[in-house]
Structure 1
Amino acid sequence: MFTVCNPVRKLARFATVLVAAAVLAACEPGGFGGGPSINTSEPVPVALLVPSGSPQSGDAELARSLENAARLAMSDLPNVLIDLRVYDTAGSANTAAAVAQQAVADGAKIILGPVYAQAANSAGLAVLNNNVNVLSFSNNTSIAGGNVYVLGPTFQNTADRLVSYAGRQGKSSAVIVSSNDAAGQQAQSAIASALGSSPVANAGTINFERSQQGVIDSIPTVKATVDANNADAMFLTATTAGALPLFSQLLPEAGVSPATTQYIGLTRWDIPAQTLELPGVQGGWFALPDPAKAQAYRQRYNNTYGEAPHPISGLAYDGIAAIGALVSQGNSNALSGAALTQGAGFQGVGGIFRLLPNGTNQRGLAVATIQNKQVVVIDPAPQSFSGAGF
């Protein structure tokens, strides 16, 4: 969907700019708090916890892709050496805790991973008394805090970006349509929080059961709520693999016209690509990482390893890029919580990102729409945390 011309030269330049920008971001002045002391003139021991050995389908591929991405990032670091040690969690929380402790005993100064929330939480608790931070690949903010940070994209970050954009486009009120399961309720809460601090009013929430009949049963209530509040926007938390295709068909048929009520998705509407063919998603808004940078990463990974990267593999690259940027400054406390949460953030494979003191993250996202079955960026991703959308 997005092309990069002269790929070899562009990709090489992308890698250089990525690391340079990350290093520049890490120069922001600020006090560094406590944390593990490191010798920046020696290779820094970093533990990577991956779900190798897990019985779950796809975990072996995921583990390989995360390690590949981490090593790709290491090759891009100027004047910084990382001693990467890979530990297998088997996708288990108990194993994650055990190998996290082993990693620290082996000298690790920071832990990248694991992927799953329970495993990440267990790993964090296991090394809490060792004063070692954990940069998890999870996006579950319920485990964030203390020495555990989540690198995965969060509902709150996406909701904040989309609500901010909707407000700047003059939208006055929005209805939230969310599933009644845990993920749907977390998504609904994120949107409600974002609306609460914006000029866009919360026009009400409709919860639906995650089933075909549940979606069908919710349509009249959605229509009535939109009409009663003259809502000019509607947030849908459904995924493309879940209820989104059905909602995008039934809501316009019921009279919730996209011409007067802006459809906004909290999840990616461009994955898988066949979603772009659906008539009901045309004109909808959603957020995504900086498309040019994300595409450059995918091409570079493919050129290096001969296969496409796993969709979340870039989180491992981001973690190494952030560590390398901080270590390059020569501070012995470069991996402390205060250092990791410095405000200027870092450059990742999908654009800028920063870790927040509460253990969550903020990522610079673009806002896109679908026109003629093509993704069109309507508000580019910010290039710094003083840019648009923040």
Structure 2
Amino acid sequence: MHLACARRAGTITVAALAAFLSACSTQQVPSGLPSRQPAATARPAANTVPAQGEIIGSGETRVALLVPLSAEGNGGTVAGEIRNAARLALEDAGLDTLQIVVKDTGGTEPGASAAAASAVSEGAAMILGPLFAANVRAASVALGPAHPPTLAFSSDRSAAGPGTYLNSFLPGDLVRRIIAYAASQGVRRVVALVPNGPAGQLAEAEARRVLQASGGEVVAVGRYGYDNASMMAALQEVALSISDADAIFIPDGGNTPSVIAAALKGMGIDLSGKRLLGNGQWTSANLSDPALQGGWFADVDHARLNIFKGRYQQRFGAEPSVTASLAYDSVILASALARQGGAAAFTPAYLQTVSGFAGTTGTFRFLPDGTNERGYAVYEVTDGAARLISPAPASFTGGS
């Protein structure tokens, strides 16, 4: 952030916060905060209970960030990115806006419980995290029924609940977006190839529901494990149905879409005229594969996300995962609420603002059951890259 922006951040009004940050970072950040003031509640005095953990910022309102910093593997890596993104967000909003206390859960349920209990004892107005679904549940139990609002980063919707909101990407929503778009373009008969397990079951069920609502159907389903025998068995199961289908739905990433396309062609199946459909995992696929050209997939707003990733990389020297963007948005939202009215502003009425917020990956809003709704875009694989063909919605209208 430019020095001039940093100097102004400490004194800017809440009403102008989103626009200010947009100008400084060349991207939109959470907006749509209620214009009314919170109920008359005295602003709490400065924190008197010593905080246990790394402290970011010097604000009067305290927020706890629960992440698995000491966890092995990818969990620890993502935790570091979340902490960095939180720091970047608070630098943008003004270091005097919040006091963020970083607490290491270790990636375990006992660790999450202990971190959550510690956060409450220290007077946290909001909990950000944990990352893993089991840790979110453990933290919710430790916090009790009247706990501070929590913005967790798990994509398992079963971890949501009253006061525990998921700021994440829920797989069913991505399926809904791509299948609904395909149906709007005349796709009626779809063959689905899904991985074994809960993710595949969810994708299959949501695809069936959306197609049935639009007059279409899933005509065949092949369920595979990640081994050659299982994959071939799944392809043989749907082979005869492909000739009469409009599209093939592959909600998986990595090399799976290319492997499936190559295997089907190797079986002598003509894929011409068959639209391949996918989800956000396709960003990890080989989009230069000729077999994937013309395929459609749903994902977050790449333009917004790439701006965030560029700023993060400039600040910390590495490209972050998309999860880091969720932490950035969460801190920006918490900062705006703190400026609006301190701890008194952290209420369900404010967090469940129907108009939602505009974040680093697009629009999002929290629902009363703790889940979220996000605006997703649709992309077409063209010349080895993702080309936007249906923009993400810029706002939400009406109720949830």
Give 1:260's aligned amino acid. Answer: G
Q: Which has the higher contact order (CA 8 A, sep 6+)?
A: 1
Matched, 1:298 2:305: no
Alignment of 1:84-123 (within 5 A): 84-123=100-139
Task: Structure 1 unaligned segments of length 5 or more: list them.
Answer: 1-10
Give the corresponding residue for 2:260: 247
Give the corresponding residue for 1:347: 358
Give 1:316's aligned amino acid. Answer: A
Q: What TM-score comes out, normalization by structure 2 length?
A: 0.83
2:22–2:28 CA contact under 8 A, matched in 1: no
**Closer/same/farther in 2, CA of residues 28 and 264 from structure 1, 3 Å limit:** farther
Task: Provide the alpha-carbon RMSD of the alignment.
Answer: 2.8
Give the corresponding residue for 1:6: none
> CA deviation digits over 1:126-147, x for unaligned, max 9?
1133422221111111211223
Give the corresponding residue for 1:27: 34
Q: CA–CA distance in 2 between the matches of 1:263 and 1:218?
A: 17
Deviation at 1:149, TM superposition (A): 1.8
Matched, 1:214 2:227: no
Deviation at 1:94, TM superposition (A): 1.0
Q: CA–CA distance in 2 between the matches of 1:356 and 1:143?
A: 14
Matched, 1:270 2:287: no
| Number of matched pairs | 366
Deviation at 1:205, TM superposition (A): 2.6
**Closer/same/farther in 2, CA of residues 195 and 381 from structure 1, 3 Å limit:** same
**Closer/same/farther in 2, CA of residues 246 and 40 from structure 1, 3 Å limit:** farther
Give 2:111's aligned amino acid. Answer: T
Give the corresponding residue for 1:315: 326
**Closer/same/farther in 2, CA of residues 193 and 151 from structure 1, 3 Å limit:** farther
Q: 2:340 aligns with which of 299, 322, 329?
A: 329
Q: CA–CA distance in 2 between the matches of 1:244 and 1:279?
A: 11
Deviation at 1:299, TM superposition (A): 0.8
2:155–2:166 CA contact under 8 A, matched in 1: yes
Deviation at 1:87, TM superposition (A): 0.2
Give the corresponding residue for 2:74: 58
Q: CA–CA distance in 1 between the matches of 2:142 and 2:74?
A: 26
Q: CA–CA distance in 2 between the matches of 1:287 and 1:205?
A: 20
Matched, 1:13 2:29: no
Give 2:250's aligned amino acid. Answer: L
SS at match of 1:330: helix
Q: What TM-score comes out, normalization by structure 1 length?
A: 0.85
Q: 1:260 aligns with which of 257, 261, 273?
A: 273
Larger Rg: 2
> CA deviation digits over 1:330-351, x for unaligned, max 9?
3764222232121111121111
Q: 2:63 aligns with which of 18, 27, 46?
A: 46
Q: CA–CA distance in 1 between the matches of 2:24 and 2:294?
A: 31
SS at match of 1:18: coil
Q: CA–CA distance in 1 between the matches of 2:77 and 2:145?
A: 32
1:163–1:198 CA contact under 8 A, matched in 2: no
Deviation at 1:313, TM superposition (A): 1.0
Q: 2:377 aligns with which of 366, 370, 379?
A: 366
2:188–2:211 CA contact under 8 A, matched in 1: no
1:321–1:347 CA contact under 8 A, matched in 2: no
**Closer/same/farther in 2, CA of residues 37 and 380 from structure 1, 3 Å limit:** farther
Give the corresponding residue for 1:234: 248
**Closer/same/farther in 2, CA of residues 15 and 39 from structure 1, 3 Å limit:** farther
**Closer/same/farther in 2, CA of residues 386 and 78 from structure 1, 3 Å limit:** farther
Give the corresponding residue for 1:4: none
Give the corresponding residue for 1:189: 205
Matched, 1:164 2:175: no
Deviation at 1:199, TM superposition (A): 3.9
Give 2:61's aligned amino acid. Answer: V
Deviation at 1:40, TM superposition (A): 11
1:80–1:324 CA contact under 8 A, matched in 2: no
> CA deviation digits over 1:167-217, x for unaligned, max 9?
221212222221222222222223233334334333343322332211111
SS at match of 1:74: helix
**Closer/same/farther in 2, CA of residues 269 and 28 from structure 1, 3 Å limit:** farther
> CA deviation digits over 1:334-372, x for unaligned, max 9?
222232121111121111111122222222221111112
Task: Show structure 1 runs of 4+ deviating over 6 A.
Answer: none
SS at match of 2:355: coil
Give the corresponding residue for 1:7: none
**Closer/same/farther in 2, CA of residues 364 and 123 from structure 1, 3 Å limit:** same
2:109–2:138 CA contact under 8 A, matched in 1: yes
Deviation at 1:51, TM superposition (A): 0.6
Q: CA–CA distance in 2 between the matches of 1:219 and 1:332?
A: 55
Give 2:23's aligned amino acid. Answer: R
Task: Structure 2 unaligned segments of length 5 or more: list them.
Answer: 1-20, 47-58
1:352–1:383 CA contact under 8 A, matched in 2: yes
Alignment of 1:68-87 (within 5 A): 68-77=84-93, 81-87=97-103
Q: CA–CA distance in 2 between the matches of 1:78 and 1:194?
A: 44
Q: CA–CA distance in 1 between the matches of 2:275 and 2:128?
A: 39
Q: CA–CA distance in 2 between the matches of 1:181 and 1:32?
A: 44
Give 2:260's aligned amino acid. Answer: F
1:178–1:237 CA contact under 8 A, matched in 2: yes
**Closer/same/farther in 2, CA of residues 307 and 12 from structure 1, 3 Å limit:** farther
**Closer/same/farther in 2, CA of residues 358 and 256 from structure 1, 3 Å limit:** farther
1:124–1:133 CA contact under 8 A, matched in 2: no
